[in-house]
Amino acid sequence: MSTLSPNAKGYILTLSCPNRPGIVAALSQTLYEAGANITEAQQYDDVGSGSFFMRIMFDIVKGKTTEAELRALVDVMAGQFGMEYRLNCQSYRPKVVIMVSKFDHCLVDLLYRWRIGELPIEPVGIIANHPEETYKDIDFYGIPFYHLPITKETKVEQEARILSVVDGSGADLVVLARYMQILSNDMAAALSGRCINIHHSFLPGFKGARPYHQAYERGVKLIGATAHYVTRDLDEGPIIEQDVERISHADSPDDLIRKGRDIERRVLARAVRYHIEMRTIMNGNKTIVFVS
Amino acid sequence: MSTLSPNAKGYILTLSCPNRPGIVAALSQTLYEAGANITEAQQYDDVGSGSFFMRIMFDIVKGKTTEAELRALVDVMAGQFGMEYRLNCQSYRPKVVIMVSKFDHCLVDLLYRWRIGELPIEPVGIIANHPEETYKDIDFYGIPFYHLPITKETKVEQEARILSVVDGSGADLVVLARYMQILSNDMAAALSGRCINIHHSFLPGFKGARPYHQAYERGVKLIGATAHYVTRDLDEGPIIEQDVERISHADSPDDLIRKGRDIERRVLARAVRYHIEMRTIMNGNKTIVFVS
Amino acid sequence: MSTLSPNAKGYILTLSCPNRPGIVAALSQTLYEAGANITEAQQYDDVGSGSFFMRIMFDIVKGKTTEAELRALVDVMAGQFGMEYRLNCQSYRPKVVIMVSKFDHCLVDLLYRWRIGELPIEPVGIIANHPEETYKDIDFYGIPFYHLPITKETKVEQEARILSVVDGSGADLVVLARYMQILSNDMAAALSGRCINIHHSFLPGFKGARPYHQAYERGVKLIGATAHYVTRDLDEGPIIEQDVERISHADSPDDLIRKGRDIERRVLARAVRYHIEMRTIMNGNKTIVFVS
Amino acid sequence: MSTLSPNAKGYILTLSCPNRPGIVAALSQTLYEAGANITEAQQYDDVGSGSFFMRIMFDIVKGKTTEAELRALVDVMAGQFGMEYRLNCQSYRPKVVIMVSKFDHCLVDLLYRWRIGELPIEPVGIIANHPEETYKDIDFYGIPFYHLPITKETKVEQEARILSVVDGSGADLVVLARYMQILSNDMAAALSGRCINIHHSFLPGFKGARPYHQAYERGVKLIGATAHYVTRDLDEGPIIEQDVERISHADSPDDLIRKGRDIERRVLARAVRYHIEMRTIMNGNKTIVFVS
């Protein structure tokens, strides 16, 4: 949707703060004076918590306000309104680490979307608890691969290694692309807000292991998948995206697993896209998703 | 879809029995000899339980085998194969009792579908725990109305009255059209297999009270409704039909309730249609639904 | 979603103008100075046409700026930026005329949504080309009913009468709720932008008469409905909302008609809701729909 | 869903014939006497054309009736009832040629589903009108690749080469996986009934070139994709499967193309699956699809 003129620089700004009159007026005045042309804007008042959330896309003609000057201007406003904010260039390609176990359909799908330019990310690492030969059919294009198997005994040290890879690579985002190890509380906390998991059920139904078998046993008529931010509470993180497909009594657990792969792929890809386009803001145990 | 010639009589037969070779051959031979023309047939082998399920629609030219003779023939087969079966004329209009509380959208919807001939039922009673004036905007067309309010103290006797109305009316089916009283175990058992409830969530998520508020609190991205047969276990009955709609962070609980009404209406109407067209067969805690 | 405090007055403003920098800044500054608290805002830049569109909801504490003063302020801005705008109180209930032919499912549905308070409208007239007894099962609650049958010979004068009813009633919106007469070009032009039609196909597929039969003949696997603004070009008006449902080879044209009723009802109801909440802005032959 | 015992051989039989009483009885008797255990069966009476269609899955214990004997038995019935039929082993893996142009998402998707065992096919050739280096990111696993570019001048001879590859490879099915060349009438006729195309619109809307741009211009609110058998009439072939996704006014043509890729992939994959599981039977310009 980018329609940026070649001599302008595009930005995305997301912010949250306690709600009070005048935020939008002050912000749009500040941006106007900085020479910004707002191209997209969405806001949300959470009446329950009294919080205000906003996402703004804008362009600034080159030669006018620099990025550093812009940050200084936003910092002033942030101080004034008690804002937390994130500001990025629209051209920024987030660094992403992908974690995977045996099933590779989400990994393959993300790499494909990256390869054809659909997902503007920079993959900086693939971490698996299976050895590299498990993925011998996949072209990693030189993305570093880390085999970090986990047992009960090695969990603490291996998670430390994972975090070291994540932080060492400068990753902005970790994607659990059907990574079937349960993260420790410490690990989950360390990745909180920058880690997306795909769970293969329509949460809150069928938490935990083997959700398609649970769905089969319960006799539901639709199955689904859920992409959510990782937090301490397993399968309780803020939901970013969900989708479902119809099944029938004649579908076996294997049919559900097969149909589920399609749902998981598209739900995870959408969630990652929303995140890297800065369309998501965590709001307690929920996620605000500004789709246009 | 009926394409019955005027001088033929249409039947629907559903059956279940232990699976073994030769059921279909014997059945189709029997029906052929009875002069039946099979117009629709579906079957399902439940490999787990070793059970066989089938639904057959067929016509018999008038003057050939009578309904009594037909039943005798099917009885022989049923004995031979250990079958349970149901046989009805396609023209049979099941007698239905509808139960309702304050919210009338499912009731109004069912009555409308009946009025225009979409749902071939015969409503024989409306039971409510609110007084008739609550429904003053609804034309009951002379369907008997029963005000049977329930308190903790009167539950036993009022449920007995409800059962008495149901059985006295000869009802084939009881529809809980947003009837917000929890049935006692005895009542649920007494109606088992002939009572459909609409629950306003995508089960197994958000059982119990105020599911839309639960959904709002959890931050899901789709809400749903579930029609199921009533059994002893509240919200655990065999699911007949489910559907969902997309919501966003900006939807309040009232928005969910509003969007949910549309889902509830169509899910319940589909489930009732499947039941009266004898497309459903309960299979333990699941429902086989033979949709064409 | 209204969370208006009792001593504030809520407004909705929609506007369009040639795009240029500073619109949002000027507008939010103006509103801020008027004492407005913005609760919802959406915007869209149509790069192709160079037009800018916006919808803003805001509250003003009673005792501050009056509605007249507010309009004066917006008028100034409108002059400055070449804006067209609409400004309404959030509590305004648009006057609506509903037109219908033989099939009453959309009419009944709209009246139900109005009766339970879901659709905040004021129905001021029902116009039909069938006599009132056709609708004897429907409670019109005293809404004036006009029987205006149309033949080739009477079309001009009857359309004049329809327009006279519409204008005489002060209607803001005319809803063609399965009104099966083709409007003349003059009539369509007279109602342009304030008349919503429901077409019983997924446009642009199956324009014209008997779309479900067309769909059956073509063998599509999904059927749909389309709500659109009425313009001179029949079935070519700006689309507001569409939806679909799955069908199979086994569905007869009557099955499609039955399944279609459910789609038509919800698509039309959504479109009317979007319109009366001022979420829609016509943009040439398209409709911008600001859903939250 | 296969639950075949190791000492049984599974078959799929599809058939069509003029409808008359006794077909099912004769067929099930024949199969019963051949020692077959029917595991799945579906039928459809097309009242309009008076044709009868059926799909049956069954097992025969090894050592009983052989495949040759079985074919002889079915041949007798076919003669008796004027049947056309197809009989295959359930373990048969159809040979498939995939044709592709520049966009490789459907090709990559099909190869992935084949690689993980989801699609039980044997790819025997990939034909492209672009050179092999266009697909350098794709592992063809030794599947023969044919670069057969087409110009107006070379069309006749290149189509002859394509047919020669198809027939030489013994392909049961040709999949046009976003192959952007229009087949000549002769070519389409030669492949009729054994060639599936994916069209990137919800047919019959937006036939021909650049359908996403057409959809953008028309302002529809859902976009779709259609998989159909190839026949002489371009974009008019019998539809096998369709699906849609929601879009908004804010989506650019590029957004539609991106969202469309997901729809195209799953619609084509489902259609291919239906075909190779022999769930489809062409019925004039429609397709019967027996989904369970």
pLDDT band at B236 (very low <50, low <70, confident <90, very high): confident
Q: Region C95-119: what's the mean pLDDT?
A: 98
Q: Is C133 exposed, middle or buried (0-12, 13-18, 19+ CB in 10 A)?
A: exposed
pLDDT band at D236 (very low <50, low <70, confident <90, very high): confident
Angle of the D253-276 helix axis to the D211-218 helix axis, nearest 10: 130
How many angstroms separate the CA atoms of C12 and C57, rounded?
A: 5
How many angstroms separate the CA atoms of D281 and D272, rounded?
A: 13
For residue A232, what pLDDT is reported?
85
For residue A234, what pLDDT is reported?
73
The answer to whether A31 touches A38, Cβ cutoff 8 Å, is yes
From the list D25, D31, D45, the residue facing B39 with the nearest CB is D45
Classify C206 in phi/psi space as left (phi over 0), alpha (psi -120 to 50) or beta.
left
For residue A107, what pLDDT is reported?
98
How many angstroms separate the CA of residue B153 from the nearest CA in chain A? 34
Instruction: List pLDDT tens digits, range D10-50.
Output: 999 999 999 998 899 899 999 999 999 898 999 999 988 99
Q: Is D202 on the interface with C (CB under 8 A)?
A: yes
Helix or strand holding residue C77 (H, E)? helix C67-81
Q: Is C277 on the interface with B (CB under 8 A)?
A: no
Instruction: List pLDDT tens digits, range C187-213.
Output: 999 999 999 999 999 999 999 899 999
Chains that touch C (3 or more CB pairs under 8 A): A, B, D
pLDDT band at C251 (very low <50, low <70, confident <90, very high): very high
- The two tokens of residue A57 are 């896309």
Set C235, C251, C255, C262: catalytic member: C235
For residue A2, what pLDDT is reported?
44
> Which amino acid, one-letter code, is at D110?
L
Which residue in chain A is spatially nearest to B292 when comparing CA positions?
A248
How many angstroms separate the CA atoms of D88 and D277, rounded?
A: 10
pLDDT, greater one: B236 or D131: D131
Interface test with B, best of C116, C243, C268, C274 (most B CBs within 10 A): C116
- Residues of chain D numbered 27-46 and touching chain A (CB < 8 Å): 40
Instruction: List pLDDT tens digits, range A15-55.
Output: 999 999 889 989 999 999 999 989 899 999 998 899 999 99
How many angstroms separate the CA atoms of D42 and B107, rounded?
A: 35
Residue C40 in this model has a pLDDT that exceeds 80: yes
Mean pLDDT rounded to a whole number for chain B: 95
Task: State the residue for tokens 């902005």.
Answer: A172
Size of interface A-C (CB pairs under 8 A): 53
The answer to whether B235 touches B223, Cβ cutoff 8 Å, is no
The answer to whether A189 touches A234, Cβ cutoff 8 Å, is no
Instruction: Quote the Cα angle for C24-C29-C31, to 5°.
Output: 95
SS3 C291: coil
- Burial per residue of C1-20, b for 16 or more beta-carbon CB atoms within 10 angstroms, e otherwise: beeeeeebbbbbbbbbbebe
Interface test with A, best of D57, D100, D103, D118 (most A CBs within 10 A): D118
**Range list of H helices, chain B:** 23-33, 67-81, 105-115, 155-168, 185-191, 211-218, 253-276
SS3 B156: helix
How many angstroms separate the CA atoms of B57 and B54, rounded?
A: 10
Cα–Cα distances in Å, from C37 out to A22, A42, C61? Answer: 7, 15, 9
Residue B137 in this model has a pLDDT that exceeds 50: yes
The answer to whether B43 touches D40, Cβ cutoff 8 Å, is yes
Residue C265 in this model has a pLDDT that exceeds 60: yes
- Provide, as residue numbers in chain A, all residues whose Cβ is less than 8 Å from the Cβ of C43: 38, 40-41
Cα–Cα distances in Å, from D67 out to A207, D11, D14, D75, D88? Answer: 47, 9, 15, 12, 9
The answer to whether B113 touches B121, Cβ cutoff 8 Å, is no
Kindly report the length of chain D: 292
SS3 B60: strand
Interface test with B, best of D3, D4, D28, D54 (most B CBs within 10 A): D28
User: Residue B13 phi/psi, 5° resolution?
Assistant: -125, 125
pLDDT band at B263 (very low <50, low <70, confident <90, very high): very high
For residue C3, what pLDDT is reported?
52
How many angstroms separate the CA atoms of A89 and B9, rounded?
A: 73
How many angstroms separate the CA of residue C245 from the nearest CA in chain B? 12
Count of Cβ atoms closer than 10 Å to residue A12 Cβ: 18
Task: State the residue for tokens 């899901």.
Answer: B220
Instruction: Quote the Cα angle for B73-B79-B81, to 5°.
Output: 105
Residue C44 in this model has a pLDDT that exceeds 80: yes
Q: Is C218 on the interface with D (CB under 8 A)?
A: yes
For residue D53, what pLDDT is reported?
97
How many angstroms separate the CA atoms of A60 and A31, rounded?
A: 9
How many angstroms separate the CA atoms of B144 and B130, rounded?
A: 15
Instruction: List pLDDT tens digits, range C47-80.
Output: 889 999 999 999 998 888 999 999 999 999 999 9
> Which amino acid, one-letter code, is at D66?
T
- Provide, as residue numbers in chain A, all residues whose Cβ is less than 8 Å from the Cβ of B249: 44, 283, 286-289
Kindly report the length of chain B: 292
- The two tokens of residue D248 are 């908004």
Give A86-121 as a 3 state SS string: EEEECCCCCEEEEEECCCCHHHHHHHHHHHCCCCCC
How many angstroms separate the CA of residue C26 from the nearest CA in chain D? 23
The answer to whether B257 touches B264, Cβ cutoff 8 Å, is no
User: Residue B268 phi/psi, 5° resolution?
Assistant: -65, -45
From the list A112, A116, A252, the residue facing D1 with the nearest CB is A252
How many angstroms separate the CA atoms of D41 and D276, rounded?
A: 16
**Half-sphere exposure of residue C43, counting CA atoms within 13 Å on the CB side?**
24
How many angstroms separate the CA atoms of B288 and B277, rounded?
A: 13
Task: State the residue for tokens 């308070």.
Answer: C117
Instruction: List pLDDT tens digits, range B139-170.
Output: 999 999 999 999 999 999 999 999 999 999 99
Count of Cβ atoms closer than 10 Å to residue A77 Cβ: 18
Rg (CA), chain A: 21
For residue C66, what pLDDT is reported?
94
- Provide, as residue numbers in chain A, all residues whose Cβ is less than 8 Å from the Cβ of C28: 24-25, 27-29
pLDDT < 70: residue spans in chain A: 1-5
Nearest Cα to A129, choosing from A147, A153, A105, A106? A147
Chains that touch A (3 or more CB pairs under 8 A): B, C, D
User: Residue B222 phi/psi, 5° resolution?
Assistant: -140, 140
Q: Region C172-177: what's the mean pLDDT?
A: 98
Q: Report percent pLDDT > 90 for chain B.
A: 90
Instruction: Quote the Cα angle for B21-B23-B26, to 5°.
Output: 120
For residue B232, what pLDDT is reported?
85
Interface test with A, best of D140, D249, D255, D262 (most A CBs within 10 A): D262
Which residue in chain A is spatially nearest to D107 when comparing CA positions?
A112
pLDDT band at D2 (very low <50, low <70, confident <90, very high): very low
Nearest Cα to B25, choosing from D38, A70, A291, D61? D38
Instruction: List pLDDT tens digits, range B87-136.
Output: 999 999 999 999 999 999 999 999 999 999 999 999 999 999 999 999 99
Nearest Cα to B5, choosing from B83, B73, B59? B59
Return all residues near B58 (Cβ < 8 A) that are at least 6 apart.
Answer: B10, B11, B13, B31, B36, B37, B38, B39
- Residues of chain B numbered 257-276 and touching chain C (CB < 8 Å): 258, 261-262, 266, 269
Catalytically active residues of A, by annotation: 235
From the list C28, C36, C37, the residue facing A28 with the nearest CB is C28
For residue B3, what pLDDT is reported?
52
From the list B252, B261, B262, the residue facing C1 with the nearest CB is B252
For residue D292, what pLDDT is reported?
78
ipTM of the complex as predicted: 0.95
Nearest Cα to C83, choosing from C122, C115, C54, C45? C54
Highest average pLDDT, of A22-26, B23-27, C231-235, C247-251, comes from: C247-251
Q: Is D292 on the interface with A (CB under 8 A)?
A: yes
**Pairing of β D8-18 and β D84-89:** antiparallel
For residue D1, what pLDDT is reported?
41
For residue B6, what pLDDT is reported?
73
pLDDT band at D133 (very low <50, low <70, confident <90, very high): very high
How many angstroms separate the CA of residue A1 from the nearest CA in chain C? 10
Return all residues near C164 (Cβ < 8 A) that are at least 6 apart.
Answer: none
Q: Region C143-160: what's the mean pLDDT?
A: 97
From the list A203, A249, A286, the residue facing B286 with the nearest CB is A249
- Provide, as residue numbers in chain D, all residues whose Cβ is less than 8 Å from the Cβ of B45: 3, 39-40
Mean pLDDT rounded to a whole number for chain C: 95
Set D235, D243, D251, D255: catalytic member: D235
For residue B4, what pLDDT is reported?
56
What is the DSSP-derived secondary structure letter of residue C177?
S
From the list B25, B47, B246, the residue facing D28 with the nearest CB is B25
The answer to whether A228 touches A199, Cβ cutoff 8 Å, is yes
- CB–CB contact A251 D105 (8 Å): no
How many angstroms separate the CA atoms of D122 and D264, rounded?
A: 21
How many angstroms separate the CA of residue B243 from the nearest CA in chain A? 7
Instruction: List pLDDT tens digits, range D146-166.
Output: 999 999 999 999 999 999 999
